[in-house]
Each structure stands twice: as structure tokens, then as C-alpha cells.
Amino acid sequence: MRQLVRETTLAAEHLIAPIFVTEGTAREAVASMPGVERVPADAVAADAVALYRLGVRAVILFGIPNVKDAEGSGSFADDGVTQRAVRAIKAAVPELVVITDVCLCEYTDHGHCGVLGADGAPLNDATLPVLGRIAVSHARAGADIVAPSGMMDGMVGTIRAALDADGHTDVAILSYSVKYASAFYGPFRDAAATSLRTGDRRTHQMDPANAREAMREADLDVSEGADMLMVKPALVYLDIVHALRARHPALPLVAYQVSGEYAMLKAAAANGWLDERATVLETLLSIRRAGADAIITYFAGDVARWLHDGWP
């Protein structure tokens, strides 16, 4: 009877699996994210096939190049790490939705999400054309959805225009509309080697104290042509997920359970302090209950496997 009257569901097709892709030859563990690996571009297709067989319908790729430079030029290279991974996955499992993270921070030696100005902070307008270039290169490789994560004003409009001009009218934009300047990204920065040498990201990422501003960020993205919106992190911003669900009822809403949220649960479970499966399910259900259609989570593969085995 509980199942009959249940209001919120969780299934593998609600999950988006993040994958860190490298130009290396061996898989590498990420110390602060037990169970997560950096995967060579040549090996990533096998992971994608395995996820698809478990019912996961989408992945989001984060490329980690061998060489980083001040301009982040690896980000839009035709044979760049992300572009290679997209091609490999699309060749192996064309039905799997491939989303790519569109940002400069994984490709710049300074780790910032944009072209730097004299004061060492990213320049919004100078960064926009580069984002357009990255998105087009991902679309040419076969990406279905591009996800700009750098919180630059005007990024969605610029990317839409660039994609359309190159003939990619069917490639969708999932905007990291509401991305907070969060301490919960720490483990990701280990994984992607994007820690900043100097400065911080508070010039463009959102102040955790602000909710009304989040609505404004999302409204701007919608007006520029965003196809889907994202809130990130998820668990400590469920009020924002809930408010955005109501404000843009027609748009799919994605929430990102980020690296720090994953690390917290993993660490407590490893100590025997929390029941991993039960707490993971509870967090994911709460994110869905708040209004997210889909959830980006490092638990995607595990949860899909657990569900496949008849859990809970």
C-alpha cells in the first residue's frame, strides 16, 4: 500500500553519471571520492555501455587534459580529451545522452573559469566567445547537450547563437543557472586538478546567502534560450530547487549532488556511522521531492546497480 500511495519515485533514468576523462593510459582513483576514477578517453566507452545496460540514460563528461595553458586552448581542440571521449561513447552506445561540461577551468593552468583580466579575476565578456567555441567543438564531436558551468553572464545566449550558426540547432543547453560558490566542490577540484593558485570564484559564482538572486540568474538563462536549468549543489539548496520548479514549470530541472556531498556520505559509511544505501536513497529522493527531474550524482552507477538487484 505504501508503494501505491508513494508520491516520489527514483529510477535509473532519473540519474546522470559524471565521468572524469583523461588523456592518460591508466585508470586512477580519486582519493577524496572513494569509488570514483579518472578514466582514460580510450577506456570510457566501456563504462558508458555498462551504465546504459543498468538503465542510466545520460552521462556528463569532464575532460582533464595533460597540458593546461593560460588560455585553456585544449578546451576547444578537435582532438581534445572531451571531444575524443564524446566520439568514443557515441560510437559505442549512440542512444546514451552525452552531456559535456563547458568551462575553461579544467583547461587553464591558473584554474579559473575564464580569460583573466589584469586583476587576476575572469573577464566575463572576453570569455563568452571561447565558451561558444568549446560548445561547437563538443557538438561537432556528437554531444547531445552542452552544459556551461562557468556562471558567465550571457553564456547561454552566446552558446545558442554559436551552435545554431554551426548547424547544431538540435543540441540542447543545460545551464548551470544557479551555481553557488560552495565549499562542497573541494573533492572535484582534486579530481579535475582545478584548484586555484590565487583568487576565488566568488566574483561569478553565487553567494550561498542569496535566493532571490538565484531566480534572476535562472530567468536570464531562460530568456537566452536555456533548454534545462540546474541547481548546484543539491542538498543544501533544496529550497532553491523547489522555488525554481515552481517558477519555470515548463523547463526540465536538474540538481547536482556534488563531490562534497558524495564524499560526506562515503566517509560516514566507510566508518560504519551511516548506512550507505539508505542514506543515499534518502538524499536522492529528497532532491526529487523538492522538484528535480534529474540528478547528477556520483552514486548513479551504484544506485542503478542496487535498483537492478531489486533494492530497496
Check 68, 90, 179, 266 and give the catalytic one: 179
**Minimum distance of ligand PBG from residue 36's CB (angstroms):** 10
Nearer Cβ to ligand PBG (40/114): 114
**68 among known catalytic residues:** no
Instruction: Identify which of 156, 244, 150, 157 has the alpha carbon closest to the alpha carbon of residue 203.
Output: 150
155-165 and 124-141 helices, crossing angle to 10°: 40
Could you tell me if 238 and 292 are in contact, meaning their C-beta atoms sit under 8 angstroms apart?
A: no
**Minimum distance of ligand PBG from residue 101's CB (angstroms):** 5
**Minimum distance of ligand PBG from residue 265's CB (angstroms):** 13
Binding interface with ligand PBG (CB under 6 A): 101, 103, 105, 149, 185, 188-189, 194, 201, 258-259
Could you tell me if 304 and 55 are in contact, meaning their C-beta atoms sit under 8 angstroms apart?
A: yes
Nearer Cβ to ligand PBG (186/252): 186
- The dihedral built from the CA positions of residue 108, 113, 117 and 121, taken in this order, carries a sign that is negative
**179 among known catalytic residues:** yes
Cα–Cα dist 303/114, whole Å: 35
Scored b (16 or more CB within 10 A) or e, 199-218 reads eebebbbbeeeeeeebbebb
Nearer Cβ to ligand PBG (61/139): 61
Nearer Cβ to ligand PBG (105/295): 105
**Minimum distance of ligand PBG from residue 2's CB (angstroms):** 33
Q: Which residues are CB-contacts of 216 (< 8 A; sequence separation ≥ 6)?
A: none
**Minimum distance of ligand PBG from residue 88's CB (angstroms):** 21
Which H or E element spans position 186?
helix 186-192
Nearer Cβ to ligand PBG (49/196): 196
Catalytic residue list: 179, 232
